[in-house]
Amino acid sequence: MKIAWLTIIFFLGTIPCYAAPKTALVIGNSNYQSSPLTNPVNDATDIAEKLRYLGFEVFDKFDLNRKQMRNAIREFGQTLKQKGGAGIFFYAGHGIQVKGENYLIPVGADIQSEFEVPDESVQANLLLRALEDAGNPLNIVVLDACRDNPFARSFRSSAKGLARMEGGVGTLIAYSTGPGNVAMDGEGRNSPYTKYLLKYMTQTGLSIEQVFKRVRVGVEKDSGGRQIPWESSSLRNDFYFVPEPVELTKHSPQNQINKDIEKSKKHTIKVTASETRAKNSSLVTNALMTNYVDTNSQTTSGYKLTIYTNPGSAQIRILNLDKNYHSGITLEPGDYNLEISKEGYLSKKQWVTIDQDNVEMQITLVPLDYE
């Protein structure tokens, strides 16, 4: 058995609690023949850029017709079905409700009367059905789509905004305003809703629920209470865009660690930072680290470590191990010091504990010129 002992406590960089694949479909429709909108393409562009920075694989689409929107949703669902992980759908553009059903309006829709809406637009429930079919554990649906109904004069009903929808288990649906209300397109580059979403989704330590609470407060204040964002959620997992840094601690009680150390001292190799530097040609940390390895109890069992990086081409090294990293590397239980680096980005060093299960991590590097 391999026993690792750290003489000090280290602070880790951010470890996303959701390290599985993350995929996003972002759609912005602005160029309507009737009632064109200023901001949706800007909103979608900026959200897509931010999600890429946060480690998502992003499919961004702009000014789509009905067929293109349906195809994009179909492909998004198929990708989530194949890859699993977390999914985010963001839509900015016109959205309306008819008889309690919500519809996203494509560019080029020819709607003269209310009865034509189902044939000319995309039912929002199509997306929810695609997510349900995908079967991935966590989805976030963001609809900045409650602008004024451009066809209101020809409609018999007077319902405004979008109706409440119920997603499957593991789904959060976020609306830019409450059910039956209308959202503002905004006078700046982004809608008020997207402006605050962009602001808070990169703040460290905010859960997805906290992000939307802060968005709600900001939009409500800017609109003088006329627009109040709203969410419905059946999430089972915690999700953070940027998690809080975590303090590394041993899983076993300190007294058990001490007993293990005493037991292993007869058959141990003491490795210091300077020796590790000479062996691996890399500095472990500025502090001294001591490892104790039981050489009389080797095992062939271990657990897999898989690291997803953003950018994807970053170099990964295990500083306290004389072994090159590769995706899915099998490691014995213990503590491992990782270094992730790429030219043009700030390098990151952080510890990971391999204990009783395979470990998957998502690590995002910060560009040197990022503000």
**Can you give the residue ranges of every domain in the chain?**
22-233, 254-364
Query: How many residues comprise the chain?
Result: 371
Neighbours of 35 (CB within 10 A): 14
Strands 86-92 and 22-28: parallel
| Nearest alpha carbon to residue 293 among 323, 264, 331, 255 | 264
Judge whether residue 102 has pLDDT over 60: yes
| Lookup: tokens for 230 | 């709203």
CA distance linking residue 90 with residue 43, whole number of Å = 9
CB atoms within 10 A of CB 161: 23
Among 14-28, 120-134, 245-259, 305-319, top mean pLDDT goes to: 120-134
DSSP assignments along 247-309, one per residue? B---SS-HHHHHHHHHHHGGG---B-HHHHHHHHSS---SS---B---TT---S--EEEEEEE
- pTM, entire model: 0.64
Q: What is the mean pLDDT of residues 4-10?
A: 30
Residues 152-192: tens digit of each pLDDT: 554 544 456 788 898 899 999 999 988 767 777 667 899 99
Which residues touch 208 (CB under 8 Å, ≥6 apart)? 140, 172, 235, 238, 239, 240, 241
Please state, in angstroms and rounded to a whole number, the distance separating the CA atoms of residues 183 and 146.
5
CATH number corresponding to 22-233: 3.40.50.1460
DSSP code per residue over 18-38: --S-EEEEEEE----SSS--S
Cα(305)–Cα(307) distance, integer angstroms: 7
How would residue 309 be classed by pLDDT, with cut points 50, 70 and 90?
A: confident
The C-alpha angle with vertex 41 and arms to 32 and 132, in degrees rounded to 5, equals: 95
Q: Which of 12-21, 204-213, 297-306 has the highest mean pLDDT?
A: 204-213
Sheet containing 101-104: order of strands? 95-98, 101-104, 122-123
Across the range 329-353, mean pLDDT stands at 88
Residue 244 DSSP code = P
Number of other CB atoms surrounding residue 151 within 10 Å: 21
41 vs 44: CA distance, rounded Å = 5
Coil/strand/helix, residue 321: coil
